[in-house]
Structure 1
Amino acid sequence: MRERQQEADFTPPRGLSNPHVQTLLPRCLPRPRLARDVESLELPDGDFVELNWIRPSPTSSTAPILVLFHGLEGSFHSPYARWLLATASRMGWRAVLMHFRGCGSQPNRLPRAYHSGDTADAYWLTAELSRRYPGALKVAAGVSLGGNMLLKLVAEQGGSGLDLAGAIIVSAPLDLAASADTLHQGFSRVYERHLLKALKRKVAPRLVRGELPLSLNGEALERIDSLRGYDDAVTAPLHGFKGADDYYRRASAGRLLGDIELPTLILHADDDPFMPAALFQRLPQPSAAVHLEITHHGGHVGFMEWRNKRLSPWLARRLARELEGWASLGDSWRSITDHRLSRSDS
């Protein structure tokens, strides 16, 4: 069994170790070109999410599946999404990204959006994948907000509630309150302003059309200058929370680290500018099912390294190694999963 915590094998290029450089570099580099099929997956409440299936897809119905959940206001076009999906596809995996509600090509139908603790849609998707591909090994990966959501889902469902062999969590804000406070300080406010602009751009037209049950007008929305303020005025009331503090407390997955039963890899940079330093010292001890890899550098979903005489995403290389490990199990993964499920039921 692997050690529960170790230093990751990521080394930033000389002169490019600054956390903000690492965070911003991926946006400056070419992204893999990927063909995709877009599917609208209907949800039980009458809304929908968009699925992005990478082409060409494997012909075998038992080909392994990677399902990816993006970050706050992320999408199929995010650099990390392209790299991770391309990596899985090249390895013969069936790769799919789920756009959270309203993050795809069309606005969602209902008077709500998505948030860091909203696990219902991901649970519905995993059940649908299980129905369509019952014999396929399935691994889920979540990045940033999607990572917090995925870890919370895994904790909620225990060892027997999901048809997943494992989970991969990348740069997840597992303490949402601490992350909101960190993003409101120093240079990190650049990221906060960028996220706020994207969130406001999406919600403003819906406020004008009267589609959202919020006591908020356009002028009040424009005056919001922090993510905590936005979550207090929009995210929390829109999704049944008493306020930002209630939302952060109930949606943060870090408090559930000791409850994880599914094999889970967590990748985190100690200098992530979206989170306080030494994040995992603030959180409960992870369970034995969690393997935590922490880098000294890497920024927020950065992890750019110098390899083969060019800048390359270490995340893609690390994902490939993890997927190779799962694929090498072959048919034995089912017996391992069955053993885990029977142990959970006992």
Structure 2
Amino acid sequence: MYDAAPEYKPPLWLRSGHVQSIWPSLFRAVAVQQPESEVLPTDDEDELHLDWYRQDSDRLAVLSHGLEGHSRRPYIKGLARALFREGWDVLAWNFRSCGGIMNHQPRFYHSGATGDLDRVVRHGLAQGYRTMGLAGFSMGGNLTLLYLAEQSEQIDSRICGAIGFSVPCDLAGSADTLARPSRKIYMRRFLRDLEVKMEQKSRQFPGLIDTSDFDKIRSFHEFDDRFTAPLHGFRDAQDYWQSCSALGRLKDIRVPAVMVNASDDPFLSELCFPVDPAVTGRHVRVEFPQWGGHVGFVEQAADGSYWSERRAVRHFASLLC
């Protein structure tokens, strides 16, 4: 189902994809209770770091962050606060190597690491919750939708639906978009953060990970070819992107899911705005607000909330009917 005109209408000064994408990371602070931390072991002798917000609810929201993000980014904390206020317990998790703690294995995280999300989901359900909703931002949105598609008909009946914001469901096209000269400010920041991480990995695993000449990398094509693909069992960047893009799998989702991508998002390719029901399937609703940028959707609300949080709360409420 396609909704061409959701109701998000920001002030005039926020009607820019670049302003929307940059403003929250620079100026937003979210007051929320201190979460309870937990370390979840994996089968390959690694670990995932979790943040819990609990209030003895019977329903749980699982939140997945974006590329080089973590569980305490303002957009995660903002949604955690909004859902907590509506009676949900919240579990925000960190991808491997994120959240300031390096993981133990050579692998780190990628857009199709659904096995880790499944471990988090199963751990959450094991706590006795009757209902679960999933939410993801950017890479975490692609991961969430891909996970639901892989589960398809076999999905646990307690998982009632999901929402994703700023979802690069066409990974190859989005990588090309970010490689444009006009997107250099974003690409440079991602590569700066990834370089620090890969240098840590190189010290962990000398001889396996080589970061020499990292400063010559200019795009995700070069980074994923050199690091992401070989460390995670893909032939090359193109194989990784093709295998892990949610776009071709949306039709396999069997629970109510919403994908919200702003038309002015500077990270997304044209294919990240599908309207053909043959692509989206019967259970995925796509919404393309005119404004919002990448993980922006800024709003000057009295309670400090953003439009994306109100949209997520509304969708999660509909799952309980």
TM-score between the two structures when normalised by the length of structure 2: 0.93
CA distance in 2, matches of 1:198, 1:191: 11
Aligned to 2:29: 30
Task: Answer yes or no: is the 8 Å Cα contact 1:8–1:295 preserved in 2.
Answer: yes
Selected match of 2:99 from 104, 109, 128: 104
Checking the alignment, whether the CA contact within 8 Å between 2:274 and 2:286 is kept in structure 1 is: no
Determine whether 1:285 maps to 2:283. no
Aligned to 1:5: 3
Give 5+ residue unaligned stretches, structure 2.
none
**Residues 38-61 of structure 1: CA deviation (Å, up to 9, x unaligned):** 10001111111001012xx2225x
Give the corresponding residue for 1:88: 83
- Deviation (angstroms), 1:6: 4.0
Post-superposition shift, 1:159? 2.9
Report the Cα offset of residue 209 of structure 1.
3.9
Q: Secondary structure at the match of 2:311?
A: helix
Q: Which amino acid is the alignment partner of residue 245 of structure 1?
A: Q
Structure 1 position 117 matched with structure 2 position 112: yes
- The alpha-carbon distance between structure 1 residues 168 and 243, as it changes in their structure 2 partners (threshold 3 A), is same
What do the CA deviations read for 1:91-115 (whole angstroms, capped 9, x no partner)? 1211111100111242111111010
| 1:176 aligned onto 2:171 | yes
Cα deviation for residue 124 of structure 1 reads 1.4
Change (3 A) 1:29 1:127: closer
Alignment of 1:54-69 (within 5 A): 54=53, 57-60=54-57, 63-69=58-64
* Structure 1 position 194, deviation (Å): 0.8
Identity of aligned residues (%): 34
Please tell me whether the aligned partners of residues 69 and 142 of structure 1 are also in contact (alpha carbons under 8 angstroms): yes
Q: 2:48 maps to what in 1?
A: 49
Matched ranges for 1:1-346 at <5 A: 3-27=1-25, 28-54=27-53, 57-60=54-57, 63-133=58-128, 135-162=129-156, 163-211=158-206, 213-214=208-209, 216=210, 218-277=211-270, 279-281=272-274, 285-308=279-302, 312-327=305-320, 329=321
Name the CA shift for 1:212/1:164 in 2 (closer, same or farther; >3 Å): farther
Give the Cα–Cα distance (whole angstroms) in 1 for the partners of residues 259 and 76 of structure 2: 17
Measure, in 2, the Cα distance between the counterparts of 1:119 and 1:142: 13
SS at match of 2:213: helix
For residue 72 of structure 1, report the CA deviation from its aligned partner. 0.5
Is contact 1:304–1:311 with CA below 8 Å preserved after alignment? no
Separation in 2, partners of 1:101, 1:30: 25
The alignment yields a C-alpha RMSD, in angstroms, of: 1.9
Q: Distance in 2 between matches of 1:22 and 1:105?
A: 26
Shift of residue 211, structure 1, vs aligned partner: 5.0
Q: C-alpha distance in 2, partners of 1:212/1:167?
A: 41
Q: Deviations over 1:62-84 (max 9, x none)?
A: x2100001000111221210100
Counterpart amino acid of residue 297 in structure 1: W
Q: SS in structure 1 opposite 2:144?
A: helix
Distance in 2 of aligned mates of 1:144 and 1:211: 31
Structure 1 residue 192, shift from structure 2 partner: 1.0
Instruction: Provide the C-alpha distance between the structure 2 equivalents of 1:209 and 1:290, rounded to a whole number of angstroms.
Output: 41
Counterpart CA distance in 1 for 2:117 and 2:298 is 28
Q: CA deviation at 1:307?
A: 3.7
Cα 1:58–1:281 shift into 2, 3 Å: closer
State how far apart, in whole Å, the 2-side matches of 1:246 and 1:161 are. 26
Calculate the TM-score normalised by the size of structure 1: 0.87
User: In structure 2, how many angstroms separate the alpha carbons of the residues matched to 1:323 and 1:99?
Assistant: 22
Determine which structure has more spread, i.e. the larger CA radius of gyration: 1
SS at match of 2:280: coil
Question: For the residues of structure 2 that align with 1:212 and 1:298, how far apart are their CA atoms?
Answer: 43
Q: Which runs of 5+ in 1 are unaligned?
A: 330-346
1:15 Cα shift? 2.4
**Aligned position for 1:343:** none
Cα–Cα, structure 1 residues 317 and 270, in superposed 2: closer, same or farther, change >3 Å? same
State the secondary structure of the residue aligned to 2:18: helix
Supply the distance in 1 between the matched residues of 2:174 and 2:36 (Cα, whole angstroms): 34
Equivalent residues, number: 318
- Find the aligned partners of 1:43 and 1:146 in 2 and give their Cα distance: 19
**Partners of 2:52 and 2:238 in 1: CA distance:** 36
